[in-house]
A = this chain, B = another copy of it.
Amino acid sequence: MSHNVQTVLSAAQEVTNRDLSDAKGPVEVPNGSAYSDHPRLKVHRKYRHVAALHSKVQPSCLSHEATETPSFIGFRNLMVLTIIVMNLRLVVENAQKYGLLITLKLNLRSQDIQTALILYALTPCHLFVAYIIERVAMENAKGAVGKRKKNDPDGSTPETEEEKTDFYYTWWWIAVAHALNASLALLITSYVVYYHIYNPGLGMISETHAIVVWLKTCSYAFTNRDLRHAMLHPGGPESALPEIYSKCPYPRNVTLRNLCYFWWAPTLVYQPYYPRTDRIRWTFFFKRVGEVVALCVFVWLVCAQYAIPVLHNSLGGMAVLDFSAIAERLMKLSTISLIVWLAGFFAIFQSFLNALAEITRFGDRVFYEDWWNSTSLKMYWATWNKPVYHFMRRHIYSPLVGRGWSPRAASAWVFVFSGVLHELAVGVPSHSILGVAFLGMVLQLPLILCTEPLAKKDGTGKVIGNCIFWINFVFVGQPLAAMIYFFSYQAKYGAMSKMAQR
């Protein structure tokens, strides 16, 4: 053997020696045999290429025979990231296609603004007219009570026939006066918005304001009627009033101050007295106002940059009823309308109403509940808009049920009524009373019947119910209605709108 080979060999030998015998640290082997009982024990073994990594029979964690299902929490995070990235891509695509569509130039006629401001100032007057009517009714009732006390101090004599006739006669005229006053509030605004306010956004704000005032007027009239009747006919357990009203009993509540509070309070149901907070937290108030401003700007940007192009691009498909094109636009619009809706919901129901409640020291801030977890459509309609739900329950549903209607029939009537209000709020400002919003509300009834059994089930049933709610609401209801009204509006004012856009 030459010297060279010897050197190579000894080098190899050295490596081998190092490799095979570099055993360090404690070695724990239970018995003296060549085979260890703990193949996965972390000891520095002499032989490192022999570890038994496959030492027992065990299934894959996704197989059915696995003893426990693994957690899938990572996929939740993946979903959030996927949605962010997918939308980010659409943002980039939109920027490449359209550039910046947002301009600071507001597409508003000065005449529209003028008309809207006049409506905004005049509509609340109907509340004051309702106050005057109530004031007259109250004086009348107080007079009746005074007369009765004078004639019959111990209250033993029953009402005379004349007294009864007199009371109901007054009652009837008051009802007519209230009905006229309240209806006028709605009719005048609807007429003005439909014929004189071109901008649908401004029109919708004016119309919604009128609906709110109308509902408040109705609630004021209904509640005071019952309170007046209770004063005139005291006693009897069934005529008990809520304990909280004892702090401001009828007729002490019929004051201008009390009415003004109701005018501004974030509720649609009149109560002589509301739970109040101790003080106005100004930081809370300004935070909420900041949220409202930020979210409004956000909604405006999203609409201008993303919703309007999608709506414009849908016109072609709508005109020739190309269903695959309509479906594609609908699905594209659904994400945008969902974002706009969620931002709008938060802006109005969390930020705006909480700010209003803070400034009026209004205590009950449950303007919504966790409607996003609704397992049935019924639950959704009862939780997403508490002020309107309260109004419907107190002034429509309960009285109807009390008169002997079945709960289902009363619910149906609530949805029909609500459909009319929705049609007013959407159809009038967009100058196209199509009945789609109305139908959208009325069609909730069969859907509610379908989803009601799911809410009572566990697990999967509830998830399915929740999914049906979301599909109905986010992917069909909102964007479809938006597209139909947009199409109708464009069919009517298309040229005008394009001119205004330039």
> Does A158 have its Cβ within 8 Å of any Cβ on chain B?
no
The 10 closest A-B pairs by CB, nearest first: A57-B363, A39-B242, A52-B242, A89-B331, A74-B372, A49-B222, A47-B226, A54-B364, A70-B370, A74-B373
Cβ–Cβ contact A47 & B230, under 8 A: yes
Given contacts A89-B331, A275-B54, A402-B22, contact A36 B242 (CB under 8 A): yes
Stretch at the interface among A11-19, A186-194, A301-309, A483-491: A11-19
Cβ–Cβ contact A83 & B85, under 8 A: no
Cβ–Cβ contact B74 & A394, under 8 A: no
> Does A443 have its Cβ within 8 Å of any Cβ on chain B?
no
A330 to B325 Cα, complex, angstroms: 26
> Does A163 have its Cβ within 8 Å of any Cβ on chain B?
no
Residues of B within 8 A of A80 (CB): 79, 467
> Does A245 have its Cβ within 8 Å of any Cβ on chain B?
yes
Q: Which of A331-390 contact B (CB under 8 A)?
A: 331-332, 334-335, 338, 346, 349-350, 353-354, 362-374, 390
Q: Which of A43-79 contact B (CB under 8 A)?
A: 43-63, 70-79
Rounded to whole Å, the gap between the CB of A91 and the closest CB of chain B is: 9
Cβ–Cβ contact A328 & B89, under 8 A: yes
A470 to B197 Cα, complex, angstroms: 51
Cβ–Cβ contact A50 & B368, under 8 A: no
Residues of B within 8 A of A24 (CB): 402
Residues of B within 8 A of A243 (CB): 35-39, 52
> Does A403 have its Cβ within 8 Å of any Cβ on chain B?
yes
> Does A180 have its Cβ within 8 Å of any Cβ on chain B?
no
Q: Indicate which residue in B81, B227, B332 contacts A475 across the interface (CB closer than 8 Å).
A: B81
Can you list 21 residue pairs at the A/B interface with Cβ under 8 Å? A12-B175, A20-B226, A34-B241, A36-B243, A46-B236, A47-B230, A47-B241, A50-B230, A51-B394, A52-B244, A53-B267, A53-B394, A55-B364, A60-B367, A60-B368, A70-B370, A78-B372, A81-B471, A82-B335, A83-B83, A85-B334
- For chain A, the bracket of interface size reads 35 or more
Cβ–Cβ contact B274 & A54, under 8 A: yes
Q: Indicate which residue in B74, B277, B334 contacts A374 across the interface (CB closer than 8 Å).
A: B74
- Quick one: closest B residue to A327, CB to CB? B92
> Does A424 have its Cβ within 8 Å of any Cβ on chain B?
no
A335 to B394 Cα, complex, angstroms: 50
- Quick one: closest B residue to A169, CB to CB? B9
Cβ–Cβ contact A47 & B239, under 8 A: yes
Residues of B within 8 A of A372 (CB): 72, 74-75, 78
Rounded to whole Å, the gap between the CB of A92 and the closest CB of chain B is: 4
Residues of B within 8 A of A61 (CB): 366, 368-370
A189 to B227 Cα, complex, angstroms: 94
Binding site for B on A (CB under 8 A): 9, 12-13, 16, 18-20, 22-24, 27, 29, 32-39, 43-63, 70-83, 85-86, 88-89, 92-93, 95-96, 165, 168-169, 171-172, 175, 219, 222-223, 225-227, 229-230, 234, 236-246, 249, 267, 269, 271, 274-277, 324-325, 327-328, 331-332, 334-335, 338, 346, 349-350, 353-354, 362-374, 390, 393-395, 398-399, 402-404, 463, 466-467, 470-471, 474-475
Rounded to whole Å, the gap between the CB of A356 and the closest CB of chain B is: 12
Given contacts A44-B238, A168-B9, contact A53 B365 (CB under 8 A): no
Cβ–Cβ contact A34 & B239, under 8 A: yes
Residues of B within 8 A of A73 (CB): 373, 466
Rounded to whole Å, the gap between the CB of A37 and the closest CB of chain B is: 5
Residues of B within 8 A of A338 (CB): 78, 82
Given contacts A27-B237, A92-B328, A364-B57, contact A227 B354 (CB under 8 A): no
Q: Indicate which residue in B37, B46, B95 contacts A239 across the interface (CB closer than 8 Å).
A: B46
Q: Indicate which residue in B86, B267, B399, B403 contacts A49 across the interface (CB closer than 8 Å).
A: B399
A75 to B321 Cα, complex, angstroms: 33
Cβ–Cβ contact A53 & B369, under 8 A: no
Cβ–Cβ contact A241 & B36, under 8 A: yes
Residues of B within 8 A of A245 (CB): 35, 50, 52
Residues of B within 8 A of A74 (CB): 370-374, 466, 470
- Quick one: closest B residue to A361, CB to CB? B57
Residues of B within 8 A of A83 (CB): 79, 82-83, 86
Given contacts A60-B350, A75-B372, A96-B325, contact A50 B241 (CB under 8 A): yes
A23 to B40 Cα, complex, angstroms: 79
Given contacts A9-B172, A60-B368, A92-B331, contact A242 B35 (CB under 8 A): yes
Residues of B within 8 A of A48 (CB): 226, 394, 398-399, 402
A419 to B57 Cα, complex, angstroms: 31
Rounded to whole Å, the gap between the CB of A20 and the closest CB of chain B is: 6
Cβ–Cβ contact B85 & A475, under 8 A: yes
